Amino acid sequence: MKHALVYLLACGVLLQGCYRILPSNGGGQISGNPRERNIDPTDVLVPEGYRIEAVASGLTFPTALTFDEDGIPYVIEAGYSYGEVFLQPRLLRIGADGQTTEVYAGAENGPWNGVTYHDGFFYIAEGGQLEGGKILRVSQAGEAQALVEGLPSYGDHHTNGPLIQEGYLYFGQGTATNSGVVGSDNADFGWLRRHPDFHDIPCADIILADINYTTPNVLTDDPKDRAVTGPYSPYNTAVRQGQMIKGEVPCTGAVLRVALTGGEPKVVAWGFRNPYGLATAPDGAIYITQNAYDNRGSRPVWGIGDVLYRLEAGKWYGWPDYNGQLPLAVTHVPGEGKPRGPLVTNPPGDPPAPVATFGVHSSSNGLDFSTNPAFGFRGQAFVAQFGDMAPKVGKVLAPVGYKVVRVDIATGRVEDFVVNKGKKDGPASWLGSGGLERPNSVQFTPSGDALYIVDFGVMTMSKAGPTPHEKTGVVWKVSKQ
């Protein structure tokens, strides 16, 4: 018995070591520079009885789409991409011939992460990497005003959504950091040097444990200099046991809402990491996708999948100490051990359980619900998976995401709906095909008879970070034959 146990233990240790030395194989990790994008719908698998076509191409970082009252589609180009590319974000009308016409061009304050149309106006979630997040209201004539501004969006994650329901506009506000602590990974993103005092903001008062992280100080030239940083604090600012951090609004990691008539935004729920997609189910409930933790920074977290939540007003959803109902204390990073914590000693409640779990690093982003029985799968959520950003977010053994999945919200089962042909999942540039690259959002037509997929385009990855490729974005349309 003793020999068997020793043998088992040795094999476990050996395999753990194997995992650590295996190279990352993310979908963005390709050599070369794919400047041209081949588009071929026959390289994409859709269910029998459905067809897919490309309706617009040559877009630069498209992220979302909406329809006006006449059913005309409009797409937004983000104007900012990870990789520190700053451009002018744009709202474009897509003509029947696939040609685009500019309706409005914004300031270099992207990324524009979402758009919706309501009662003659476009509402745009402006990520706010340079000036802070905003919700813009844009007329058909291209006149814009800010419904909300000054949102804390200078960090890793931005202002998302928006969704309009019963006179209110709901939006997501992502966190500044991966898991609560500003570190050298945030310098890699680019924002730490622009905003060295920026950090996460709780929506209500929290009390911290005595947990700080010591790293090389990336803001000084002295390689021996060290930074000691605590959670919810500026870089190189330590915290002490029992220290209270005052809650503020607007805060990070929250879903907020504002009346369409204006006013201050109010918190609906918080404790999210990056609440990206918001959509209304046929029963009127709001569902949210959350991009979960990465294996990076001062407090890396391993093995945590993105999730789908049903929004419950007033709840705290667990960030930075849980993912769903899973405490991070029970997780571990291979070769490094458990994340220290919990950081917050007075958790504001028990986090709700997710409705569904997606692949780790799948970047499950925009979602929408099928409402038309003729299209099929009525009541199911359709989710666009941007795909992994390995190795910067952590290692994967094979590409994750790069497709559209559907979720049975009653059971949590996740099934492929639109996926590239191939022996593995992956973007077209990785597979060498003309299919999907990085689906970022999905939107049903107003009648629900077709599903549009906004494909961000090619983003390659290396240890240095992401390289997004301009003019490679595509809008796809899936309909019944």
Which residues of this chain interact with another protein, rule CB under 8 A? 1, 4, 7-8, 11-12, 14-16, 18-19, 45-50, 303-305, 334, 356-362, 376-377, 394-400, 408, 411-425
State the SS3 of 3-27: HHHHHHHHHHHHHHHHHHHCCCCCC
For the CB of residue 55, give the shortest distance to another protein in the complex, in Å: 20
Of 19 and 143, which CB lies nearer to another protein in the complex structure? 19
Of 12 and 242, which CB lies nearer to another protein in the complex structure? 12
**What is the token pair recorded at 323?**
């993912």
- Nearest Cα neighbor of 237 from 258, 262, 278, 208 is 208
Of 106 and 359, which CB lies nearer to another protein in the complex structure? 359
Cβ neighbors of 373 (< 8 A, separation 6 or more) are: none
Please state, as a whole number, how many other Cβ atoms lie within 10 Å of the Cβ of residue 312. 13
Q: For 31, what's the count of Cα atoms within 13 Å in the CB-facing half-sphere?
A: 0
**What is the token pair recorded at 207?**
């009390």
Of 35 and 413, which CB lies nearer to another protein in the complex structure? 413
Please state, as a whole number, how many other Cβ atoms lie within 10 Å of the Cβ of residue 41. 16
> What is the length of the chain?
481
For the CB of residue 167, give the shortest distance to another protein in the complex, in Å: 35
Compute the distance between CA of residue 127 and CA of residue 106 in angstroms, rounded to an integer.
12
Three-class DSSP category at 397: coil
Of 20 and 240, which CB lies nearer to another protein in the complex structure? 20
For the CB of residue 215, give the shortest distance to another protein in the complex, in Å: 24
Contact 116, 151 (CB under 8 A): no
Of 194 and 421, which CB lies nearer to another protein in the complex structure? 421
For the CB of residue 112, give the shortest distance to another protein in the complex, in Å: 29
Of 61 and 402, which CB lies nearer to another protein in the complex structure? 402
Q: Going along 254-332, which residue ranges are E strands?
A: 254-259, 266-270, 274-280, 286-291, 307-310, 322-323, 326-327
For the CB of residue 435, give the shortest distance to another protein in the complex, in Å: 10
